[in-house]
Structure 1
């Protein structure tokens, strides 16, 4: 017998005891409030003391940053829209050619006609100030991590926290330090957007070939000359990718920034229209953010990466000199317009958003007329998926929910079926598969809420220890214990069940779409722009359609999480299947395998490491949406963060945010370790 199976046998005995005794000892499922520790209050006490000392310095910094922010807003408001369109079209021509230039003109024309031009310029002002701060700070930290390998683990850990802690969590101390206003949104955007630049800087400098560095030394370069004239130019493509990701991260924060300091920008328009249930305006303004995101993404990535087929004729024609002349002409055109018509706004008198009253009524009419359909879908998913995952079969099979109670004979049949499936899994795949079947059967019966917390914590810690080593096992044990003693276990369970269901559905739907795209070039061409649009849209935009049709509730949160997290499985499954070795596939087909057998028995197993990376990204995306989904009525860790933001409770916000970050980091390390185990060494 494999020694690794013995701890699982002991855990199975403990599980049986907990299930038998949980009626006599309710604390096995519901952690008593009397056992919780006042850590949040202690954090608040420390925070209050620190804020009282350092707040004047940070308020002075806030006032210092307020001046350039106002200047950027005034400068962009001063520029007439024809000059802006001309300059952006020239940049798009140089970046990716005629197609992007046409798209840029159409996107800007839509923003103009929709009536959101001033708000969009205010949003760009925030992005234009946040991106240089994030880029400069990220570059310096990336150089530090490259030059000091001993500091890299600490730096990577800090980056993991910055990328996994919800923005709402660190908005609380920012509000206490800087006060309420646009500058807080600027600083929050800069913090959120820094990690991509750090990672890409380290990656770019690490990949500089040793031969190039040695050539620089042999040419007599000093260390400074070698860095700026040899290493940085060589790493420039990767640095530009980091700039692209940093810009997109800053843009994705515009609505969060509006919550804590809106100043008539497009994020504030989206937020206010959602609060007023003006779905027509929310769709219009959400589309503005999506178009801005796609346009900025294509502009920056075009400068970072050349097309696979080489530069187009338009890109070759738009030389740096012609680009500079075009931008100078656009600026001169702007000056001429302002001199000739200094008080003219040149904006349409009534944008589309002013005419959306009829659209709002029509949308509300559709929702009202087809409420039977939307309510039916919501109730079907709620009673057939959400409640069984949360309460389990034992909790859902009641006269109030399913219309019947579960008799003991049905329970016996269920147990027999689960045991039979476990035996079949053990014979075919080994004892690990059998344990997975038993665990799934237990969770399906008790639900996440009915699962004893000692069993869950020990099971995850044991899994982490066996997959990734003792250190990760202890990390899992400590993290769950911290959540438990802070009284956040119910919120943790809600987060786990909602994210688990969203990830499973994303893998099912996204995996099917990715498989289709891998075997059909036409499907790949159709899905690519859809995935691009979903990847570039800010998270809040996904709440609009879900909220419009299904109102508030966990089902709406599930839809929003799925829309945001479904792209990674589509992309990674397609990439993995398309890059399976052709000789292996041909050998399997020559042995007489059907297309389905080839897919299931050859392609998917070989593509599994890539698919697992897609699973990793799906989990990260689902967890990152928890705080955003809290706006539509969830009761999970994201809601705890959002409530803490409303109360300025820095302690609870920090602990709940760190809890989400803990789940993300734990899942990331587990999946990375599993991929390393399945990937053969070269």
Structure 2
């Protein structure tokens, strides 16, 4: 029912907000903190009057991610009784009515874009100060007009159905248009598409898959322990290696390695594509605006919607799963890189220019090192979003932990499904801890950590 859908969506969409807020608080300028201490701010005053206002642009990035992830859950939520647009998409996909599924998916995307633009304007809005003698109606004229308009249209809706639902003979459908595009691609470009698919599978996916399956479990345990030891010390290496050992002892080792191979390939490609685009978007406002619209569309368009066209164009298999995961997971790499570079203080840029640095030197020596924590946060989110696609990719024929979860659901075997899900979570935790530890180490080297107490 709706209550269960609400809980599931909350659990899925909440972590990025917490992570972005923590990351932003860690990077507050030490001069701002010292100013708060000098004027005698208490801990609560420091937080609500100084720290939170100073990180509002970064926090709105987290709000944006919450909006996108929430809307992306509408189809899964519809499976447990939430209804809404997600139910329309789900029913269309079950009947392979691609055009109708796209229409509902585009409606979800437009809702996301509207909420995203409003949240961005709220983040950049500056308070407007009025004289004390200003009347209430003069100060809130636009709010009053909007409120009156809502009341009038609501009252009119009681007598005229047009104000509630547009008549069916006035609606426009684009379903046949999308169906025609898929048919055209399959008829005219089947040969080149098959050539690209076979090339990637034979020379990239299959060799990496065979390599990952052939690695003994104890080698992976030692490798993860060594990496953790080098980054942060014995404790991190021990924790991560214990999680790897659990996966090996669960009986899902081969499935786990297939999951690591698929998600690792997808995350690598997503970051190779997303980080350069984010760098370009950060240096060009026009590209930034265009990119924002595209990535909002990609992230909010439910994975189920573009998974079906991918299957119908590339057939089932690992390559189709890779395309779907890359399209879905490339968004954080672009968004966090763009935001991280834009958040670099102008004082650093002015210092680099005064020393005669070229644009490329400023990017390489100043902007990228200082924005590296944000970029690594994007890499982390790319990985998490890729792992969240495992069950969906199992629908196109992958034989990994996602397939085990799907089989457990179909056979009502909660123990098997829960164990496979825990293995997926442990893979995510291992990589998350290693990336965060390395990012914190890098922050200390760059002097970006701030003491708030």
TM-score clears 0.5: yes
1:451 Cα offset (Å): 1.4
Q: Counterpart of 1:279?
A: 98
Q: Secondary structure at the match of 1:349?
A: helix
Query: How far, CA to CA, are the matches of 1:449 and 1:204 in structure 2?
Result: 39
Q: Is the 8 A contact 1:297 1:536 kept in 2?
A: no
Deviation, structure 1 residue 249: 3.6
Match among 267, 292, 296 for residue 503 of structure 1: 267
Post-superposition shift, 1:257? 0.8
- 1:54-92 residue CA offsets vs partner (Å, 9 max, x unmatched): xxxxxxxxxxxxxxxxxxxxxxxxxxxxxxxxxxxxxxx
563 and 358 in structure 1: CA distance in 2 versus 1, 3 angstrom threshold: closer
CA contact (8 A) 2:72 2:299 kept: no
Please report how far the alpha carbon of residue 448 of structure 1 lies from its aligned counterpart in structure 2 after TM superposition.
Answer: 0.6
Spell out, residue by residue over 1:344-365, the C-alpha distance to the aligned partner (whole angstroms, 9 max, x if none): 8443237444x73575255334
Q: Secondary structure at the match of 2:398?
A: coil
| Distance verdict in 2 for CA 1:321–1:485, change over 3 Å | same
Check the 8 A contact 1:585/1:603 in 2, yes or no.
no
Q: 1:557 corresponds to which residue?
A: 321
Whole-Å separation in 2 of the counterparts to 1:327 and 1:243: 26
Q: How do residues 420-435 of structure 1 correspond to structure 2 at under 5 angstroms?
A: none
Alignment of 1:28-177 (within 5 A): none
Residue 66 of structure 2 is aligned to residue 302 of structure 1: no
Displacement of 1:530: 2.2
Distance 1:318 1:387 in 2: 68
TM-score relative to the length of structure 2: 0.78
Equivalent residue for 2:408?
Answer: 644
Equivalent residue runs for 1:66-465 within 5 Å: 181-195=1-15, 241=60, 246-261=66-81, 263=83, 265-306=84-125, 320=140, 322-340=142-160, 345-349=165-169, 351-353=171-173, 356-357=175-176, 359-360=178-179, 363-391=182-210, 447-465=211-229
Gaps of 5+ in 1: 1-180, 219-225, 312-316, 392-446
Partner Cα separation in structure 1 for residue 177 and residue 301 of structure 2: 26
For residues 350 and 376 of structure 2, the distance between their equivalents in structure 1, rounded to whole angstroms, comes to 21
- Once the two structures are superposed, what CA deviation does each residue of 1:462-500 show, in whole Å capped at 9, x if it has no partner? 211221222222222221121122211111111111111
CA deviation map 1:145-173 (0-9, x unaligned):
xxxxxxxxxxxxxxxxxxxxxxxxxxxxx
CA distance in 1, matches of 2:25, 2:362: 41
Say which SS state the counterpart of residue 566 (structure 1) adopts. Answer: helix
Deviations 1:249-306 (A, max 9, x none): 432211111223253x211222222232222122212111111111122234433442
Shift of 1:635: 1.7
Preserved CA contact (<8 Å) 2:310 2:324: yes
Equivalent position of 1:479 in the other structure = 243
Q: Give deviations 1:506-539, integer Å, cap 9, x for gaps.
A: 2222233234445555544443332343344444
- Aligned-pair CA distance for 1:581: 4.3
Q: Distance in 2 between matches of 1:507 and 1:461?
A: 25
Cα drift, residue 659 of structure 1: 1.8
> Are positions 1:533 and 2:332 aligned together?
no
Distance 1:266 1:671 in 2: 36
Structure 2 unaligned blocks of 5 or more: 130-136, 448-453
Q: What CA distance in whole angstroms lies between the structure 2 residues aligned with 1:598 and 1:234? A: 30
Matched, 1:662 2:426: yes
CA-based RMSD of the aligned residues comes to 4.1
Q: What SS does the aligned partner of 1:261 have?
A: coil
1:631 lines up with 2:398 in the alignment:
no
Seen in structure 2, the aligned counterparts of structure 1 residues 674 and 284 have a Cα distance that, compared at 3 Å, is: same
After alignment, is 482-491 or 618-627 more displaced? Answer: 618-627
Residues 526 and 342 (structure 1 numbering): CA distance in 2 closer, same or farther, change over 3 Å?
closer
Mapped partners of 2:331, 2:113: distance in 1? 15
Q: Report what 2:133 is aligned to.
A: none
2:132 match: none
1:674 offset after TM fit, Å?
A: 1.7
1:610 Cα deviation from its structure 2 partner:
4.5
| Equivalent-residue separation in structure 1 for 2:375 and 2:19 (angstroms) | 22
CA distance in 2, matches of 1:525, 1:357: 30
Once residues 340 and 393 of structure 2 are traced to their aligned partners in structure 1, the CA distance between those partners, rounded to angstroms, is 31
8 Å CA contact 1:507, 1:569 repeated in 2:
yes
